[in-house]
């Protein structure tokens, strides 16, 4: 039996495979709701479990719709129902689920649990967000950047705020797709030594600072995310530390004139981003949310061998 094609982290892939997946998603987006879309049915007759231990709007709906558009049937399961790693060994859950469904998309905070599930599943497993990474989000972000501003190769992307799961997937992408990623965080909330060492080992152009203005200077894109991610404590401390990293008009002006603003959502106006930026002409946040659907259709097509890469 050949190994299933899991989609766990962008760091597992070559730049060329990521590019092929993105191109497939882009092509399906162009064909969507045309007679041509009839050929995009790699999931015909297949059932894909969508498992959520945490809340979700975008991931839940975009996977549900994407699976249906590709000819498959989604099967929604909440974490409470299966109590992964609690009712039985994760490897047993993986084996049992693999007998019923053709693929598993899961949102679970524990990255090790995701990896354990994938190790024992005989069907593709897709990471729908862990505390460590959010690769599907960054595939949509890459698609959005390139739709707006062309190839990301050689460009400068700035991240300001907390260093979290979305940022980690951006670091992985920087190593694979050859762009510069400048990261501004308070020293107390800087990326882990492990992630920084990984980026260095891969020769990625990842630069760290604690100054948001230094990070965004002349950048093609400013990214941020919530100050309090799922599973985080110390809300007040985080708010105090992160205040200087807010994306506001003054910060946006320090970026390139054509720079776009991106945020994976859900966002909090007045906290990590002002309403003026979030709802302003340089904001690409709703295209980004839409592109979750299209980028993930590329991911699903790859997982189910409908594209060669």
Binding-site residue ranges: 107, 134-137, 165, 225, 229-230, 264-265, 292
* Segment 257 to 296, residues that bind ligand CP, using CB under 6 A: 264-265
Q: Which residue ranges make up the annotated binding site for L-ornithine? A: 165, 225, 229-230
Judged by CB under 6 A, the residue of 93, 132, 137, 144 near ligand CP is 137
Binding span for ligand CP by CB under 6 A among 56-64, 85-93, 251-259, 295-303: 56-64
Say whether 137 is catalytic.
yes
DSSP-assigned letter for residue 129:
-
Binding span for ligand NVA by CB under 6 A among 83-91, 111-119, 163-171, 268-276: 163-171
Single out the catalytic residue among 58, 134, 155, 182: 134
- The alpha carbon torsion through 11, 12, 18, 22 (nearest 10 deg) reads -90
Single out the catalytic residue among 107, 176, 182, 294: 107
Tell whether residue 246 is a contact of ligand NVA (CB under 6 A).
Answer: no
Judged by CB under 6 A, the residue of 57, 76, 89, 275 near ligand CP is 57
Sheet of strand 206-209: strand arrangement: 206-209, 180-184, 156-160, 221-224, 260-263
Contacts of 171 (CB under 8 A, 6+ apart): 181, 183, 191, 195, 198, 199, 204, 206
Residue with the two structure tokens 């965080």: 185
Determine the Cα–Cα distance for residues 48 and 103; give it in Å rounded to an integer.
Answer: 5
Say whether 102 is catalytic.
no
Say whether 60 is catalytic.
no
Determine the Cα–Cα distance for residues 43 and 132; give it in Å rounded to an integer.
Answer: 28
Whether 229 contacts 161, CB under 8 Å = no
Judged by CB under 6 A, the residue of 206, 264, 277, 289 near ligand NVA is 264
Say whether 111 is catalytic.
no
Say whether 264 is catalytic.
yes
Residue 250 CA, distance from chain mean position = 27
Strand partners, 106: 51, 127
Single out the catalytic residue among 64, 292, 294, 296: 292
**Which residues of this chain interact with ligand NVA, rule CB under 6 A?**
129, 164-166, 225-226, 229-230, 264
Catalytic residues: 107, 134, 137, 225, 264, 292
């Amino acid at each position: 039996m050949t190994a299933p094609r899991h989609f766990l982290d962008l760091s597992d892939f070559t730049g060329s495979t990521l590019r092929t997946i993105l191109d497939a998603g882009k092509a399906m987006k162009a064909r969507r709701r045309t007679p041509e879309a009839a050929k995009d049915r790699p999931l015909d007759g297949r059932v894909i479990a969508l498992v959520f231990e945490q809340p979700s709007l975008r991931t839940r709906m975009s996977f549900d719709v994407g699976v249906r558009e590709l000819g498959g049937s989604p099967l929604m399961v909440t974490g409470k129902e299966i109590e992964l790693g609690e009712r039985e060994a994760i490897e047993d859950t993986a084996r049992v689920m693999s007998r019923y469904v053709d693929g598993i998309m899961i949102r679970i905070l524990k990255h090790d649990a995701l990896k354990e599930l994938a190790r024992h599943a005989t069907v593709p497993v897709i990471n729908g967000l862990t505390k460590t990474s959010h690769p599907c989000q960054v595939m949509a972000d890459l698609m959005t950047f390139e739709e707006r501003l062309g190839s990301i190769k050689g460009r400068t992307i700035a991240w300001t705020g907390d260093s979290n799961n979305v940022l980690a997937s951006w670091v992985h992408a920087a190593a694979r797709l050859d762009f510069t990623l400048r990261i501004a965080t308070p020293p107390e909330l800087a990326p882990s030594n492990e992630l920084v060492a990984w980026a260095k080992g891969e020769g990625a152009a990842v630069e760290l600072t604690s100054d948001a203005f230094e990070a965004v200077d002349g950048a093609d894109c400013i990214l941020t995310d919530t100050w309090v991610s799922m599973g985080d404590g110390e809300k007040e401390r985080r708010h105090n530390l992160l205040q200087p990293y807010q994306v506001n008009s003054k910060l946006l002006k320090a970026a390139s004139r054509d720079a776009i603003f991106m945020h994976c959502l859900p966002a909090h106006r007045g906290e990590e981003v002002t309403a003026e930026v979030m709802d302003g002409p340089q904001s690409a946040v709703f295209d980004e949310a839409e592109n979750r659907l299209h980028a993930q259709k590329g991911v699903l097509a790859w997982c189910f061998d409908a594209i060669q890469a």
